[in-house]
Amino acid sequence: MRDIHFMERITMEKPEIENRIFGILCRIYDVDPNAGQVSIEDIRRDFYLDSANAVALVMEIQMEFGFEVADEDVNDEMLSSFDSVCEYVSKKVAKGR
């Protein structure tokens, strides 16, 4: 388990954020990204989260990126697509939280 350092300034580019979120989703869905079972494009096209997976995703994002996702930020818009999740994380990372 990673240590969480809330409010720690992190700098990363969009492709790294996408890859890390892709990795989180692969863990949630128990697929091996290195086995060619799924790609980022597959996730983009077929993105779907039930409520349990949405909770798991939010918790994993908090652990992976070291910031807290506010309850009011977790909504249908944020969780509507792979790109919307990546955009949310990118904005939080850019703000340093």
Q: Give the structural domain span for 62.
A: 14-95
How high is the pLDDT of residue 65?
94
How high is the pLDDT of residue 30?
92
CATH code, domain carrying 41: 1.10.1200
Report residues of the chain scoring pLDDT below 50. Answer: 1-9
Count Cα atoms within 13 angstroms, Cβ side, for 25: 26
Number of domains in the chain: 1
C-beta separation of 63 from 2 below 8 A: yes
In a domain, 1, yes or no: no
Angle CA(29)–CA(78)–CA(59) in degrees, nearest 5? 50
In a domain, 7, yes or no: no
C-beta separation of 50 from 22 below 8 A: no
Indicate the length of the chain as a whole number.
97
In a domain, 91, yes or no: yes
In a domain, 4, yes or no: no
How high is the pLDDT of residue 5?
46
In a domain, 21, yes or no: yes
C-beta separation of 17 from 89 below 8 A: yes
